[in-house]
Structure 1
């Protein structure tokens, strides 16, 4: 019985990822999620409380993939930028959920690992003068996220500039890594 309920719960989560990525929380429909999961609405409410609870569970799961799924090597911030770009391009649904989260989440999403460990790594690299301290760790990490997601389909601006960005991904990746390198490169010693 436990296996069946866990399998049903997983199907609901998978269907919810698709629904929320496509429609956000306001436009998502529990009926469509239940149908896609081959389940019923009552089980969704039983497992997650309500649509907002399901949305929160999906966000925690998918945002964890984005924040924890791409490690930041202590000595390779540029490599991290390239890896995050690759992740963003390979996971358009996660990027759409992040966009919806920014639009619809009224407060920080509880249960998602913070960026603190990455900020600490950048700060340590700044302390050891491997990364410039001209920008704060928060600015560096946020800028990396912004430029790495500029070309995903859910980013209106990038997709307008190049509707076929996936074909040019290698060129964009190279440019992003180079840009991050210029941003973090320490000033030459006098």
Structure 2
């Protein structure tokens, strides 16, 4: 039975990812998630405890996947930003989930530990590179990390009005802009 349980849990996570990305935490309905996963609401509560627990599991999985796919390279932050941009392009739900998280949990007293650990590791890598002299100290580590992450999300996190202005920009050009902008920040 473990295979069945693992498969059910995986289907629930996938259905929940799509539901949360589309309508947020408050708008998500466990009955729709269960139906999309060919499961039932009881399984959601069994595996995740609550709708919030399910969102946390989806968000944790997304963070883990991003960390596995795109490891930070403090020696080459422009290319790291490019790879992060690529990840956002291939997984459009990431920015949607992050936006819903900011909107619905931005003042949360209980941050998602996977995000806290991820940020701490990235800061440590940048601080180490700054101490070694391979990254300038024009910006402190948190400022530099923020500039890199947000520049990488330029296209995927844009408003529809901005997207309309740039919808003719080719995919490779979008990546080039991200990499060049982070390179300019690092040189500053």
TM-score normalized by the length of structure 2: 0.89
Taking the aligned partners of 2:29 and 2:167, their CA distance within structure 1 comes to 29
Deviation at residue 129 of structure 1 after TM alignment: 2.2
* Alpha-carbon contact 1:150-1:158 (below 8 Å) kept: no
Equivalence for 2:63: 63
Stretches of 4+ moved more than 3 A in 1? none
Matched positions, count: 183
Distance 1:74 1:59, change over 3 A: same
Report the CA distance shift for 1:58/1:164 in structure 2 as closer, same or farther (over 3 A): farther
How far off is 1:155 after superposition?
2.9
Q: CA deviation at 1:97?
A: 0.8
Listed as ranges, the matches of 1:1-190 within 5 Å are: 1-105=1-105, 106-107=108-109, 108-112=111-115, 113-152=117-156, 154-156=157-159, 158-163=162-167, 168-185=170-187
Shift of the 111–84 alpha-carbon distance from structure 1 to 2, 3 Å rule, reads closer
Residue 4 of structure 1 aligns to a residue whose secondary structure is: helix
Please give the secondary structure, in 2, of the residue aligned with 1:75.
coil
Q: CA RMSD in A?
A: 1.8
Task: Flag the 1:26–1:174 CA change in 2: closer, same or farther, 3 A.
Answer: same
Q: Which moved more, 1:115-124 or 1:51-60?
A: 115-124
Mapped to 2, the partners of 1:164 and 1:48 lie a distance apart of 42
Partners of 2:181 and 2:154 in 1: how far apart?
13
More helix by share: 2
Cα distance in 2 for residues equivalent to 1:155 and 1:176? 13
Distance 1:111 1:71, change over 3 A: closer
Give the C-alpha shift of residue 26 in structure 1.
0.6
* Cα shift at 1:115: 1.5
Ranges in structure 2 where 5+ consecutive residues have no aligned partner: none
How far 1:71 moved relative to its partner? 0.8
* Structure 1 Cα separation of the partners of residues 8 and 168 of structure 2: 37
Superposition deviation, residue 179 in structure 1? 1.4
For normalisation by structure 1, the TM-score amounts to 0.88
Q: Is the 8 A contact 2:63 2:114 kept in 1?
A: no
Greater relative contact order (Cα < 8 A, sep 6+): 2
